Amino acid sequence: MNKIIAIVGMCGVGKSVACEFLENTGYQKVYFGGVTMEKLKEEGLDVTPENEKMMRERLRSELGMGAYAKVLLPKIKELSEESNVVLDGLYSWDELKILKEEFGEAITVICVIADRALRYERLAKRDVRPFTNEEAMHRDMSEIENLAKGGPIAYADYYILNNGNIEEFEIRLKEILDDLGFTRKYTK
């Protein structure tokens, strides 16, 4: 079985940057947030932080805290038969338990962390869905309290402190990939 890497962490730590790096090394990406976006589109709702939060919480109230893993499991299985897979946006402890049960040791969890003030600064500057400090704080609280986001962060196999520059970040990612036995040449 090919490798499956789940990238976890709070909003603004650089999860998408890590996923993009892995995609550039040949990993196929499964974006958990895409489920939320698809559901909002189906219902004709605008993509706003409020609507995203509502949809995430609704999906989990209807399907349980492992909702996103349940919805995406067939896609992850299919992709992992052909290539390595990176999971962008795994949040809840139940999602991780479902994936660990299905894939066992083939799944590795990498947690990206950064100082909260730096995360909030990054979130305010991003082009897509920027957040004010207050919005970022509310999202943090909501994800911790309502989505059980802390479990995968606490249970990660590897950690990357992303308070520095992109070069330092990529060096740590390469160290982790090397530790996992990834032999492909890095394209970045």
State residue 185's pLDDT score.
59
- State the pTM of this model: 0.89
State residue 128's pLDDT score.
82
State residue 147's pLDDT score.
77
Alpha-carbon distance of 45 to 116, in angstroms, equals 30
Digit-coded pLDDT (tens) for 146-188: 778 999 999 999 999 999 999 999 999 999 999 998 766 555 5
Which is higher by pLDDT, 98 or 182? 98
State residue 184's pLDDT score.
61
Digit-coded pLDDT (tens) for 19-55: 999 999 999 999 998 999 999 999 999 988 789 889 9
Digit-coded pLDDT (tens) for 49-89: 789 889 988 998 999 999 999 999 999 999 999 999 999 98
Instruction: At 8, list the tokens.
Output: 């976890």
State residue 187's pLDDT score.
56
Digit-coded pLDDT (tens) for 105-127: 999 999 999 999 999 999 999 98
